Chain A
Amino acid sequence: MKIRLSLPMTRIEGESRLIVTREKDRITNVIYNMATVRDFKGVIIGQHVKDLPKIVPRICGICPVAHRIGAIKAIETAFDIVTPPIAELLRELALLGEIIRSHTYSVFFSTLPDIMFLADQISRQDILGVDRIQPRVLPIASKLFNCADELITATAGNTNMAFNLIPGGILQNITITQQQELVQQLHAAISHIKWAKEYYSWLLSEIEGEIQKYTLPQPLFISCFDTDKNRFSGTDQVELISEDGAKKTFPCIRYPEILIEQDMLEAPTKIAYFESSNKSKHLLAGPHARLTTLQTRSTKGKKSHIGMPNLFYSGLLRLDEIEFAITNSIKLLETRWKTSDDISVALQPQTSSGASSVEAPRGTLLYRVDINNRGRIKDIDIRVPTELNAKAISLIVKKIMTICLDLGWTNEQTLERVKMAVRCFDPCVSCATQTDIRFREK
């Protein structure tokens, strides 16, 4: 029996679709895909390359800065542009602001209410219920939003368009007064995030048995986090790490060869082949992958056991990343920067191709762009983290549905758990459906 569910299981635009195959009392297959299509590829092709960074932030209103930086880096790679250090700094600061902003939404409005529901503190997924039980949560979220918005606005121009960041550099530098004000505001946010971490950890300890169900079968972690400089803006190398700690690193321009596309009922999903095992494996991008990259930094490819990721711990990792983003922003803002007038370099469009990788809040974001001799975009490919995670989402949903079936739970109880699992990935359907025209042709 095939059950097709179209559910508002993500909080964000679009609806995801789950196709569940059940044979007697067994769930044999689950496929997660995205039901809405937004044709950004169609909008972008033919546009001037300088316009690309203005268009792509509209792909996702939650992480527009990451998209803008992804596009800028791809253009700079295509034209062999070396970015001035001050521009790299401001880009990283803007990205750190976006990490705070997006993770605040994910943890405080998405995962935390789920945990409170599992801990029997609220009757259903409801942010108003959260406010009644713990009135500190929403004011803290509001302060973190404010802090993030100030950081992004000062460094990138504004939160949604990040227009200060351009191919070749930046339009204007941050002032010393802005730096000082931001440092003050960020310092004030540290105590809030520490409280949030304690509260979240306490809630997790209350439901420890329950959340064991949400442990993901061992994935292949994917990340481009720059472990040398501790930067989300990444390197031009993407790293894959398997369960035994073995690593494969490849230049991001090669990602179309490495990440094999698997057609999952009309929606493309990327899975990766890893040479050491020579078989396909589901990917996991995001906080767990970044942590694994950091943990295996010193092993240099030696084998070591990597634990299986538990989805509810993603929320705790996101809070860790918010704290990291705050303290790292303070560190960068307090550094005495070498200022100069050279904040950007000129762009001379020519026939070329470029690619980039950036760690967006949800995980690795990949761009590849082909440009013609008139500076117009010939082709573009964008791979967003939700798409990279789609296979892992299918697997965890299958696992949870199987457990719920064994426990004899009602459909309503089962679906509630399934929705929680999907939310733990922090999916943004609006960006995950941005380019695929084949979907529509079918």
Chain B
Amino acid sequence: MKKIGFFQLNSCSGCMFAVLSSTIFLDLLKSADIRLFRLISDVQTEDQFDVVFIEGGVTRNEEAALLRRLWTEGAKIITLGSCAVLGGIMSHSPNMHIDPVNKFVDPYATLPGCPPPQQLLGNLLMSAIDGIEFKLPEKNVCSECPFAQDQTYDVEITSLNALHPPKSCFLSEGILCLGPITRAGCGARCIKGATPCDGCLGALDRNLPSALANLFSVLKVSDSIREYAAIAFRYQKPELKFK
């Protein structure tokens, strides 16, 4: 059985809780040798791991050192959730510095999402146990959205929030939705729940500033939205000033 560890860095525990409450968790307990998982046991082990799952961003030197040690020892590092993969919402703190895990080590696989979608999470966990390669979808959220339209958007984008379920694509209703540039895999869960996509699965082409620049270039975006463009970087600290 594969020796598995679940590590939490600076995070809210939401991704680990998603693992714990997932439908395949009982199978996971029986088919893997879980050596470290703070949510269910405080037993510490010095053993080497075959696979480690990392939740949260890196804020402390000790956390960076831990990642490097695990990597050096040969563990396959899998990043779980938007904080570990992209830096997450905490990267907007003006008082502390937070980095995604890939700044320190090369992850074997990544699954963003706040929290990661259950189906992809189940696939990832089983792939890790069976030693099968895990791949993220290479499509955008619009490919899963029942309201997606293949058209140009003439309506000015003036709002970030919906007040009712969409009758058509949010962008055609003047509400900013990041579905066109965001990686699929969530089944457009927020949009179906009357909330525009805010990009928790990260940019499809992995370069958010450039993807956003492209999106904004084909939309009519009001000045008030441009002034508040930080909303588009909720899960990833912008490296370019966007205005």
List A residues at the B interface (Cβ < 8 Å): 8-13, 36-40, 42-43, 47-48, 50-51, 54-55, 58-62, 64, 101, 105, 109, 124-128, 131, 138-139, 142, 145-146, 149, 157-158, 160-161, 163-164, 166, 171-172, 344, 346, 419, 428, 430-431, 437, 440
Alpha-carbon distance between A10 and B42 when the two chains are bound, in angstroms: 8
Alpha-carbon distance between A183 and B142 when the two chains are bound, in angstroms: 33
List B residues at the A interface (Cβ < 8 Å): 8-18, 20-21, 23, 25-26, 29, 34, 38-44, 55-56, 88-90, 92-96, 114-115, 160-165, 189-190, 193-195, 198, 228, 230-231, 234
Nearest chain B CB to A106's CB is how many angstroms away?
11
One of A12, A40, A145 near B39 (C-beta < 8 A): A12
Q: A48-B228, A64-B14, A160-B14 are contacts. A125–B165 as well, Cβ < 8 Å? A: no
Tell whether, in the assembled complex, residue B29 and residue A13 are in contact, meaning their CB atoms are under 8 Å apart.
no
B44: nearest chain-A partner, CB-CB: A8
Tell whether, in the assembled complex, residue B12 and residue A430 are in contact, meaning their CB atoms are under 8 Å apart.
yes
A60: nearest chain-B partner, CB-CB: B12
Across the interface, which residues of B come within 8 angstroms of A430, CB to CB? 11-13
Tell whether, in the assembled complex, residue A61 and residue B90 are in contact, meaning their CB atoms are under 8 Å apart.
no
Tell whether, in the assembled complex, residue A164 and residue B194 are in contact, meaning their CB atoms are under 8 Å apart.
yes
Across the interface, which residues of B come within 8 angstroms of A428, CB to CB? 13
Excluding A127-B40, A138-B26, A161-B114, 18 further A-B contacts by CB distance (< 8 Å) are A11-B41, A12-B13, A13-B16, A51-B160, A59-B12, A60-B12, A60-B14, A64-B14, A127-B29, A142-B25, A157-B193, A157-B194, A160-B14, A161-B195, A163-B195, A171-B163, A344-B163, A431-B12
Across the interface, which residues of A come within 8 angstroms of B228, CB to CB? 48
Across the interface, which residues of A come within 8 angstroms of B43, CB to CB? 124-126
Interface SS of chain B: loop
A163: nearest chain-B partner, CB-CB: B195
A-B contacts, 24 of them at CB < 8 A, read: A10-B38, A12-B38, A13-B9, A13-B13, A13-B16, A42-B94, A43-B93, A51-B160, A58-B89, A61-B11, A61-B18, A61-B115, A126-B43, A127-B40, A127-B41, A131-B29, A157-B193, A158-B190, A160-B14, A161-B195, A163-B190, A171-B195, A419-B42, A431-B12
Tell whether, in the assembled complex, residue A166 and residue B161 are in contact, meaning their CB atoms are under 8 Å apart.
yes
One of B20, B89, B115, B165 near A55 (C-beta < 8 A): B89
Alpha-carbon distance between A230 and B134 when the two chains are bound, in angstroms: 47
B10: nearest chain-A partner, CB-CB: A38
Alpha-carbon distance between A38 and B194 when the two chains are bound, in angstroms: 30
